[in-house]
Structure 1
């Protein structure tokens, strides 16, 4: 049976060069980086070299990069420390955020009783920038704005520079979840003017269990995990040296190959859009997913003109891996928060959302397999005019 992987927004295949780099370290460097003997010092040197390499990619200081296990840990650390340690009394966010941000903010709201404002969302999935601007004019409470750079279901891109400027002008802190965009765009954290960002290695052909958070020097956030004081006191626990080396290598490759990979993936996405339109009458796309200027080029959110909650299972039977939402919610029976925000219950019951996400490994043959299978499934349903 064919095997077609089109769920790269959930995770990616590890790059062969990353595996090679990690295996070398596993074989030759097994010391604890907190140990003072030669084995520990060798591990510590690798750790700090990786930190320096990563910082250089974002025009950041190595002291602003803290290693974590993933984007979820990074986002939780940032949001909770802003409230618990930095005096934030108000959070401005949206219902379009990744589940780890949604749940972290919900937890903080319930425990601390701080003010949380969720921005209005337009039908195309974009935020109301005017509302954000008006809200920030009220500086009576120290505020954190938490908005993701690219939505993990729709691919909608946030105007990060615009939001950062608004936050700077109104003395608000700005956190952006960059898990889906790091490695796919050249990001200069200083130029962008953000205070916090997050990354997860497995989204850019690196290993699972390794990530980092960026915290601007002046923010002084505090740890979520206490213990031995690793990561300059911000994240205790013995560092995952192999994963961190893999993270640094995967980022290095992503940036080096960015131009060629982007061109290839954009071609795959364009081909997918055209083939879907040709073969499935009434098909459309959620949010700004089909807009190459305003959406992440690795993600395409399809709106099929029929209701089929089991479609991902049907595709899997054909050897095709996709997602009906984010990886964090696709296993659940209920509709994702993103779709609930964009559509009424009646609209949801007439359509099927499907997230297809690409990598440099995908081919037009993968798209042909997807489209032909979807066309067969569509032929069993009564199509509606969405």
Structure 2
């Protein structure tokens, strides 16, 4: 059972069917004038309209990219370079995706000043902290809509209003929220918004950046002037066609899928917390994505838990797929104020609409068995108990572990 849909999703049959002709028969370059090129251009325009419709934007405000990471880079660097003569201060949070965080580290290395707002135990910033951080030099606020590790949703609409009042450009990474909850660029008050295809049952290697009309960015890729001169390079027509179809389907099924995902997620949370001692949910319990839950289990190693679950047929993760090969503690979870040792015992479950085909009770039992097995080998768990395994020195008679 695949339960890592925040890492990537399966391309749907409808999306693949729509893409297929553009690999073979309809292979024209959309920048050419003859008929086969015009057909590709027509397909490109339809996809652009579908993406725009899905987020309440205009087609001319959509720039196709290679994915969420490029969209984030184009938004942040492109805006920072364009507005360098107005200021050099950028505001973000401590829990951004590496595509944002590493881009900001680069900008710091060439003279930009970045403020990293703290999040609190619930994984959400305080708007007052944002307001206090704004200076006369602030040119950009970039704060993700929904976190890819813990699923918390930031108050983007409120942040956008503040940015607009202060005439500061505002970018949000909506890669994880799009297709899961409503993403309306007008309601969110954003100037730039990043999207990715492969998170919504579309193909990998394609995404989009919404750039509000009147917002100007410096191009990062120069060449043939495609995508209104903002992102040169021959467009990935099959991928864009698939992305457009995936957007159409995501919008059409949003409400139905939301209710289904909420139901599975909440059942999973309830049963894990009731079944496994010293299990916790990371992040806010209310303001969170409908398809994602991040658990923390005391005294185990998350990587080992992933391998045990995989051996039982369940694919999940400890956090972001972009950093799954790194052994250091997740900066997102440590930003919540958690002990770095406990951070390593995390498990991210991210659902898709088709996840209703799996048995939650059976899955919870597999998690419980795996956690118990790892705790038997864990010195961190065993040191909590007295030698007779009955009295917990740390918590006394009331300890659930005993």
- The normalised TM-score by structure 1 is 0.93
Check conservation: 1:47, 1:245, Cα contact below 8 A.
yes
Deviation above 3 Å: which 4+ runs of structure 1?
Answer: 382-386
From 32, 55, 59, the equivalent of 1:35 is 32
Residue 235 of structure 2 corresponds to residue 242 of structure 1 = no
Taking the aligned partners of 2:196 and 2:362, their CA distance within structure 1 comes to 29
Query: Is 1:268 aligned to residue 264 of structure 2?
Result: yes
Q: How many Å apart are 1:270 and its aligned residue?
A: 1.2
Matched pairs, number: 376
Cα root mean square deviation, aligned:
1.7
Shift of 1:364: 6.1
Give the aligned partner of residue 314 of structure 1: 308
Match of 1:123 in 2: 121
For residue 63 of structure 2, the aligned residue among 57, 62, 66 is: 66
User: 8 Å contact 1:226–1:236 — kept in the other structure?
Assistant: yes
Query: 2-side partners of 1:348 and 1:285: how far apart?
Result: 16
Aligned 1:1-386 pairs, distance under 5 A: 4-87=1-84, 88-111=87-110, 113-136=111-134, 138=135, 140-288=136-284, 291=285, 293-309=286-302, 310-345=304-339, 348-349=341-342, 352-363=345-356, 365-380=358-373, 381=375, 382=381
Change (3 A) 1:190 1:365: closer
Task: Kindly state the Cα deviation for residue 356 of structure 1 after the two structures are TM-superposed.
Answer: 0.4
TM-score by length of 2: 0.90
Give a deviation string over 1:235-274, Cα, whole Å, max 9, x none: 1111011110100101111111111111111111011112
Q: CA deviation at 1:229?
A: 0.9
CA distance in 2, matches of 1:116, 1:105: 7
Q: Indicate if the aligned counterparts of 2:46 and 2:244 stay in contact, CA closer than 8 A.
A: no
For residue 46 of structure 1, give the secondary structure of its aligned residue in structure 2.
helix
C-alpha distance in 1 between matches for 2:21 and 2:267: 39
| Alpha-carbon offset, residue 365 of structure 1 | 2.9
Q: Deviations over 1:268-290 (max 9, x none)?
A: 101111221232122110011xx
Do the aligned residues in 2 keep the contact of 1:149 with 1:158 (CA within 8 Å)?
Answer: yes
CA–CA separation in structure 1 for the residues paired with 2:219 and 2:45? 19
Distance 2:26 2:193 in 1: 29
Distance 1:344 1:270, change over 3 A: closer
CA distance in 2, matches of 1:307, 1:266: 27
Q: Which has the larger radius of gyration?
A: 2
**Alpha-carbon distance between aligned partners in 2 of 1:350 and 1:324, rounded to the nearest angstrom:** 10
SS of match in other structure, 1:214:
strand
Structure 1 CA distance for aligned equivalents of residues 102 and 150 of structure 2: 19
Cα separation, partners in 2 of 1:364 and 1:267, compared to 1, 3 Å: farther
Using the TM superposition, give the Cα deviation of residue 54 of structure 1 relative to its aligned residue in structure 2, in angstroms: 1.6
The residue matched to 1:232 in structure 2 has which SS? helix
CA-CA distance at 1:227 after TM superposition: 1.1
Offset, 1:350: 7.5
Instruction: Confirm or deny: 8 A CA contact 2:120 2:337 kept in the other structure.
Output: no
SS in 2 for 1:125: coil
Q: Any gaps of 5 or more consecutive residues in structure 1?
A: none
Gaps of 5+ in 2: 376-380, 385-398
Distance in 2, matches of 1:22 and 1:368, equals: 38
Query: Do the aligned residues in 2 keep the contact of 1:147 with 1:175 (CA within 8 Å)?
Result: yes
Distance 1:279 1:365 in 2: 18
- For residues 154 and 81 of structure 1, the distance between their equivalents in structure 2, rounded to whole angstroms, comes to 28
Contact conserved, 2:300 with 2:344, CA < 8 A, in 1? yes
Cα deviation code 1:327-378 (max 9, x no counterpart): 0112211111112222354x53486111100000102634334312211122
Secondary structure of 2:177's counterpart equals coil
Partners of 1:19 and 1:246 within 8 A in 2: yes
